[in-house]
């Protein structure tokens, strides 16, 4: 909290992403610390969900605001034999736990449309925007207003 104060940031202005693997390797102290930050208003995301040794216990013990669905599940979405059933199930599970879902690596309009149909809350990837530096992002936001 001292670092937030020093940076003149309110807790609600910070989003922390924690990989699923970090939660699995944890012996309790990381989860306790992250949950304490969350109680102060910091938003939390579980990143790369589904790529490590997933444990549903993590979803119970770590109260996150966002679940970031790894792009390996997005690549073939909407195609024959794609990961639609997995993506749909993860979205439903996250929503039942009051988490929003962010789909990573979205690169096509077809993927974006399919994810919206499946109930995904947010999209991230080159279809939305290529990576940009902070000062470029600010300039783009001003241009679109």
Catalytic residue among 10, 104, 130, 136: 104
pLDDT score at 43: 97
pLDDT score at 26: 65
Report the CATH fold assignment for 2-144. Answer: TIM Barrel (3.20.20)
CA 83 to chain centre: 18
pLDDT along the chain (145 residues), means of 10: 89 92 77 91 93 77 92 92 94 97 97 98 95 86 73
Q: Is 10 a catalytic residue?
A: no
Q: What angle do CA 21, 26, 32 make, to 5 degrees?
A: 120
pTM of the model: 0.88
Q: What residue segments make up the domains of the chain, in order of their start?
A: 2-144
């Amino acid at each position: 909290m001292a670092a937030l104060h020093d940076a003149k940031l309110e807790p609600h202005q910070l989003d922390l992403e924690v990989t699923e693997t970090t939660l699995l390797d944890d012996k309790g102290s990381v989860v306790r610390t992250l949950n304490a930050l969350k109680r102060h208003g910091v938003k939390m995301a579980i990143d790369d969900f589904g790529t490590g040794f997933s444990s549903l216990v993590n979803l119970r013990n770590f109260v996150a605001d966002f679940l970031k669905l790894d792009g390996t599940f997005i690549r073939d979405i909407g195609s024959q034999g794609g990961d639609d059933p997995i993506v749909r199930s993860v979205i439903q599970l996250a929503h039942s736990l009051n988490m929003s879902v962010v789909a990573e690596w979205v690169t096509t309009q077809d993927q974006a449309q399919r994810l919206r149909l499946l109930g995904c809350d947010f999209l991230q990837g080159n279809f939305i925007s290529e990576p940009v530096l902070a000062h470029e992002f600010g300039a783009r936001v001003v241009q679109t207003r």
